[in-house]
Amino acid sequence: MSRVAPVLPGQTMPDGQPATVGVMGGGQLGRMFVQAAQEMGYFTAVLDADPYSPAGLVSHHHIRTAYEDPAGLAELAQRCHAITTEFENVPAPALRTLAEQRPVAPNASAVAVAQDRIAEKAHFVACAQAGGIGPAPYAVITTDAELAIAPDALLPGILKSARLGYDGKGQARVKTRAELAAAWDQMGRVPCVLEQMLPLRAELSVLVARGADGQVVNFPVQRNLHRDGILAVTEVFDGNVPAALAQQAIQTTQAIAHQLGYVGVLCVEYFVIDDGSADGALVVNEMAPRPHNSGHYTLNACDVSQFELQVRAMTGLPLVQPRLHSPTVMLNILGDIWFRGGNAEAKSPDWAAVLALPGVHLHLYGKLEARVGRKMGHLNVTRATLEQVQATALQAAQILGIAPWL
C-alpha cells in the first residue's frame, strides 16, 4: 500500500485504535523492536506461534499462529498500522498478503532476495557492476551438470544452502571435488552456492536505514568476530576499520539498499581479505533485511538505536544520522556460559560481578532455557576511551567465561 501520512505515536487512528506497529516473528530482534516502539508511544503486536517468544512476552498483542496462518495474518493487519519483520525467513507470500492491507517494510521482494543466496549474490554482482564491492567468487549448484562444471578454482570452498541458513548452519567446508559432491548429497541436493574459501583478515558489517522517500542514514562500520560461525564480539570505535574501507563499505551498503527500493533497516556483512595491500580488500558476504546482532551496541553507544530507526522508517517518521557517543564493545551471551566448568546442570552466570564494572549494560532476552549455541542476551560495554572499554569488556568476558579476543 502506498503511504499517505506518517503513523504518529500516541495517535488515535481513523479506525479508532491507538497507533500500532506490528512485527512478524517473536525472537530477540522482535523484542528489542517492540521495546523501542513502546518507548516512543506505539502499541505493538507480534505474530509468533511460540507462547513464550521473547517479543510476544513484552508486546501489547501477541498473535500465536504460524507465519502463513490466514486468520493470524488477518488479525495482524487489522490491529497494525505499519508492519515489519524481524526474521528473514518469514515466507515472502505472507508479507505480500499483509502488504495488500497495510504498509509493510521492508517489502516482500527485498526480503525474498535476502532469503535466497542465489538471488542475493546476483544482486551484489549487479551492484558491483555499477561500481560497488562484489561477492566472493562463487558458482550456483542446483543440478548435476552445474556440480560438474563448478570451477576447481573455487576449492577449497564453502558449500552454502541457498535458503534457510543462519549462524553457520547449512554450510559445509570442502577441499576436493569428492568432498563437494558428498557435501551436496548430504544437504539433500538442495539449491546451493559454492564459495571460494577466502583468507579473512577481518569481518565487518554496515547498518543503514532507508525511508520511503529514499533518504538513507548509516551507523558507523562494525568490526565483528565470529566463533563457530556465530557472532561473538562487535567492536565500534573511531579507527576500528581503515577509513577508506569504511567509506567503501558504507557506499556499497547504501547502493544495495537503493537498488532494492528498500525501506527500513538493512545490514550488509563484509569480509576484509588479504590482497597484499596495507588495508586489505573488501568482499560483500550477505545481507539481513532487518536490524542485526552486530547492531545491538547502538542501544547504548549511539544517540538513536537500530530498532528506533526501524520504527521510524516503517512509520514514515524522519530519519536522523546516528552518532556514536562512546567507544563500545558488544559481547554476545550464548547459552554455553550457563554450563561452564564442566557442569552438566545449568548455573546462572555471575551477573552481579559483571554489573559491578562501570559502563556495562546487560540485555537478556527472557528465554527460559539456556542451550549451547543459543543466543540468550548480550552485554554492551561503553566507556570514555578505547583503552577503558577494551579493558572492561575483557574483564566482563573473563567473569563470564568468554574467551578473550585481544
Q: Which of ligand ATP, Mg ion, none interacts with 52 (beta carbon under 5 to 8 A by kind)? A: none
**What residue type is 173 in one-letter code?**
R
105 close to 84: Cβ distance less than 8 angstroms? yes
Q: How is residue 3 written as a grid cell?
A: 503511504
Does residue 214 bind ligand ATP (CB under 6 A)? no
Q: How far apart are CA 156 and CA 321, in angstroms?
A: 41
Backbone angles phi, psi at 126, to 5 degrees: -60, -40
In the bound state with ligand ATP, the residue whose beta carbon lies nearer, of 6 and 168, is: 168
Minimum Å distance from CB 199 to ligand ATP? 8
Span near Mg ion by CB under 5 A; candidates 9-17, 91-99, 269-277, 392-400: 269-277
Distance (Å, rounded) from C-alpha 366 to C-alpha 368? Answer: 6
**By C-beta, is 108 or 204 nearer to Mg ion?**
204
Task: Name the binder of 116 from Mg ion, ligand ATP, none, CB < 5-8 A by kind.
Answer: none
Find all residues with CB under 8 Å of 68, minimum gap 6, and list them. Answer: 91, 93, 94
For the bound state, the minimum distance from the C-beta of residue 289 to ligand ATP, rounded and expressed in Å, comes to 12
**Grid cell listed for 219:** 551507523
| Region of 58-66, 191-199, 232-240, 384-392 interacting with ligand ATP (CB under 6 A) | 191-199
Q: Which is nearer to Mg ion, 214 or 229 (CB)?
A: 229
Reference 112, options 267, 271, 255, 287; nearest CA is: 287
Q: HEC states along 351-371?
A: HHHHHCCCCEEEEECCCCCCC
Could you tell me the smallest distance in angstroms from the CB atom of residue 137 to ligand ATP? Answer: 9
Contact partner, 367, from Mg ion, ligand ATP, none, Cβ < 5-8 Å per class? none
Question: Which of ligand ATP, Mg ion, none does 229 bind, CB closer than 5 to 8 A by kind?
Answer: ligand ATP
Among 34, 141, 158, 337, binds ligand ATP (CB under 6 A): 158
Q: Which of 193, 96, 99, 88 has the alpha carbon at shortest distance from 140?
A: 193
Binding interface with Mg ion (CB under 5 A): 269
Binding interface with ligand ATP (CB under 6 A): 136, 158, 160, 165-169, 195, 197-198, 200, 203, 226, 229, 269, 285-286
